[in-house]
Structure 1
């Protein structure tokens, strides 16, 4: 199983375990209350949403990753399109984080 598919599978597992917050208000509440361990934002989030959650996650010291499309995130958790999800369990967050690392850009050899 490839790394992105593994991350999406773990997000589905977190959803079934009840350890996921989603939607702008739910994720914001989880960040402010200190429950969020990892926030995954879709790559196609609006600029306003991106800035708001980059600032919030930085202020509250929560890991943030921009991966997948809103439709991939939604499908992984059994919902329609979702732009933001927050993992509330530290064990699951530790499983998901290594799967979200994008490979470094490889420069072409001339």
Structure 2
């Protein structure tokens, strides 16, 4: 399976497993409390939103993937979203591995 599609498949699995966090305020709270282990920021997110979440994720050492558009991320989880956090450490570890593989391709 292609790595880019595998990331989206795991994102869908995360949603079904109730391991996603979305919504700006909720996501910021969860990042601060250490409950988010991986973050998706849509490539076409607004500049202010992108900066806010990149700064927060850098400070709290949360890996970020920003290679997908809002539309692709939304289709993967069945909800319109620009920023998505993954709570499960195991799924997050797999996302990091797949993201690194994509960067190496």
Match of 1:84 in 2: 83
Please, what TM-score do these two structures have when normalized by structure 2?
0.90
Match of 2:44 in 1: 44
The count of corresponding residues between Structure 1 and Structure 2 is 104
After superposition, give the CA deviation of every residue in 1:72-106 in whole Å (9 maximum; x if it has no partner): 101111112x110000010000111122234359x
Higher alpha-carbon Rg: 1
Please, what TM-score do these two structures have when normalized by structure 1?
0.86
Match of 1:108 in 2: none
Specify the SS of the correspondent of 2:4: helix
Which aligned pairs between 1:57-96 and structure 2 lie closer than 5 A? Answer: 57-80=57-80, 82-96=81-95
Match of 1:99 in 2: 98
Specify every segment of 5 or more residues in structure 1 that has no aligned partner in the other structure, as ranges.
106-110
Q: Name the CA distance, whole Å, in 2 between partners of 1:17 and 1:75.
A: 17
- Pairwise CA RMSD: 1.5
Specify every segment of 5 or more residues in structure 2 that has no aligned partner in the other structure, as ranges.
none
